[in-house]
Chain A
Amino acid sequence: MSEKTTIIVHSGDLDKIYSALIVANGSLAMGMEASLYFTFWGLLRLKKGGLDQGPLSKMHMLGLGKLMIKNRMKKANVASLDKLIADFRELGGKIIACEMTMEIMGLKRADLNEGIIDDYGAVGTYIQEARDSSITLFI
Chain B
Amino acid sequence: MAEIKVDVRGQTCPVPLVEMRKALRKAEQGDVIEMIGTHPASKKEIPMAANALSVKIISDEQIGNEWKIRLQK
A residues near B17, Cβ cutoff 8 Å:
25-26, 29-30
A residues near B53, Cβ cutoff 8 Å:
30-31
Q: How far is the CA of A71 from the CA of B2 in the complex (A)?
A: 39
In the assembled complex, B14 has its CB within 8 A of some CB on chain A: yes
In the assembled complex, B40 has its CB within 8 A of some CB on chain A: no
B residues near A22, Cβ cutoff 8 Å:
13-14
B residues near A31, Cβ cutoff 8 Å:
21, 49, 52-53
Do the beta carbons of B49 and A30 come within 8 Å of each other?
yes
A 1-32 binary contact with B (CB < 8 Å = 1; else 0)? 00000000000000000000010011011110
Interface residues of chain B: helix, strand, loop or mixed (majority) = helix
In the assembled complex, A78 has its CB within 8 A of some CB on chain B: yes
Range for the number of chain A residues in contact with chain B: 10 to 19
Do the beta carbons of B11 and A77 come within 8 Å of each other?
yes
Q: How far is the CA of A76 from the CA of B13 in the complex (A)?
A: 10
- Tell me the smallest distance from the CB of B14 to a CB of chain A, in Å: 5
Do the beta carbons of B18 and A29 come within 8 Å of each other?
yes
A75-108: which have CB < 8 Å to B? 76-79, 83-84, 87, 90-91
Of A76, A84, A91, the residue contacting B25 (CB under 8 A) is A91
A residues near B14, Cβ cutoff 8 Å:
22, 25-26, 29, 79, 84
In the assembled complex, B20 has its CB within 8 A of some CB on chain A: yes
Of B10, B18, B25, B48, the residue contacting A25 (CB under 8 A) is B18
B residues near A78, Cβ cutoff 8 Å:
12
Q: Which partner residue on chain A sits nearest B11 by CB separation?
A: A77
In the assembled complex, B15 has its CB within 8 A of some CB on chain A: yes
- Which residues from chain A sit less than 8 Å from chain B, CB to CB? 22, 25-26, 28-31, 76-79, 83-84, 87, 90-91
- Which residues from chain B sit less than 8 Å from chain A, CB to CB? 10-15, 17-18, 20-22, 25, 48-49, 52-53
